[in-house]
Amino acid sequence: MRKLLQNPQALAGGAIIFSLALVALLAPYISTHDPGDPNLWAILLPPSSHHLLGTDDLGRDVFSRMVFGSRISLLVGLIAVGISSLIGIILGSISGFYGKHIDSIIMRFVDIMLCIPTFFLILAVIALIGPSIFNIMVVIGVTSWMGVTRLVRAEFLSLREREFVLAARAAGARNYRLIIRHILPHALTPIMVAFTLGLGGAIFIESALSFLGIGVQPPTPSWGNILTEGKDNIDIAWWLSVFPGLAILITVLGFYLLAEGIREFSNPRLKK
């Protein structure tokens, strides 16, 4: 862990994620106004000392809305990627460990899923079942597990014939023990990298959905729908689009840096 902190990329990424998590956690204490409270006397004010990031067309404080919006964005990211990673790890393990027909079936299914443009699939499903935070998390989760599956499968394929796995099998270990104790731990690093990269992606998809108006529904603030509302007034109130856009950018960058850092850190040649 100390070695990981010596990696500048991981450190920068980690710092960004940590601050974001802190903001989300302490939202009620950090925000300067009630994020849902309209104020007709303060419509579309530019950033000032009173409204740090200005106000929107209903006079709501953009800073406070973004602070609360970080909760939604991070939550959607974590849960969605949690779901996709879980599916990916399970399918990938089964595919890579058992091989043969099960492997062919799962891999063909992955190919089919990859042929469908994910974003339009998500759009279609959300349109069908209706937008809610829960639905969005689940739909993003069940449509983005293919990468992890392939990754885990590849790791399992190369690890399952390793001699220490054979030795455990010769000692009478059952399959679940081989998978959980002997193979999966070695696949964890690439899974973590994929998880971190996935987080940025999921937050981005949520924002895009909200931007299109079928994501998180107002009045609940999310970075995506702040951005959506901002687009109507982009000519007169730049701050409504620029700040949520920047927030998304920085978050994705933060996760990306962390993922790169982990990848570099876990490279055995650099380790020792």
Partner 1 sequence: MLKENIDNNLLEVRNLKKYFPVQTSFFSSSRELVHAVDGVSFGIKPGETLGLAGESGCGKSTLARLILRLVEPDSGEIIFAGEDFLKKRGQELRRLRRKIQIVFQDPQSSLNPRMKAGEIISEPIQIHSLAPSRAARKEIVIELLRQVGLPPDSYSRYPHEFSGGQRQRIGIARALALNPELIVADEPVSSLDVSIQAQILNLFSDLKTRKNLTYLFISHDLRVLSWISDRIAVMYLGEMTEIAPTQELINKPLHPYTQALFAAVPIPDPATQRKKLLVPGEPPSPIHPPSGCRFHPRCPFVFAPCKDTPPPLKPAGNDRLVSCHLY
Residues that bind partner 1 (CB under 8 A): 162-164, 166-174, 177, 181-182, 185-186
3-state helix, strand, coil in the chain (%, to 5): 75, 0, 25
Token digits of residue 184:
């999966």
Which is closer to partner 1, CB of 43 or CB of 173?
Answer: 173
CB of residue 185 to partner 1, shortest distance in Å: 5
On whether the CB atoms of residues 216 and 71 are closer than 8 A, the answer is: no
138 vs 209: CA distance, rounded Å? 14
Which is closer to partner 1, CB of 2 or CB of 271?
Answer: 271
Nearest Cα to Cα of residue 66 among 13, 24, 25, 16: 24
CB of residue 147 to partner 1, shortest distance in Å: 25
Which is closer to partner 1, CB of 4 or CB of 123?
Answer: 4
174 vs 80: CA distance, rounded Å? 32
Q: Residues near 95 by Cβ (< 8 Å), separated by ≥ 6?
A: 102, 103, 106, 107, 149, 152, 153, 156
Residue 271 — φ and ψ, nearest 5°?
Answer: -75, -50
On whether the CB atoms of residues 263 and 193 are closer than 8 A, the answer is: yes
Which is closer to partner 1, CB of 118 or CB of 266?
Answer: 266
CB of residue 184 to partner 1, shortest distance in Å: 11
CB of residue 161 to partner 1, shortest distance in Å: 10
CB of residue 165 to partner 1, shortest distance in Å: 8
Which is closer to partner 1, CB of 184 or CB of 252?
Answer: 184
Q: Residues near 196 by Cβ (< 8 Å), separated by ≥ 6?
A: 255, 256, 258, 259, 262
Which is closer to partner 1, CB of 185 or CB of 213?
Answer: 185
Distance of CA 160 to the CA centre of its chain: 30
CB of residue 254 to partner 1, shortest distance in Å: 29
CB of residue 181 to partner 1, shortest distance in Å: 8
Which is closer to partner 1, CB of 71 or CB of 177?
Answer: 177
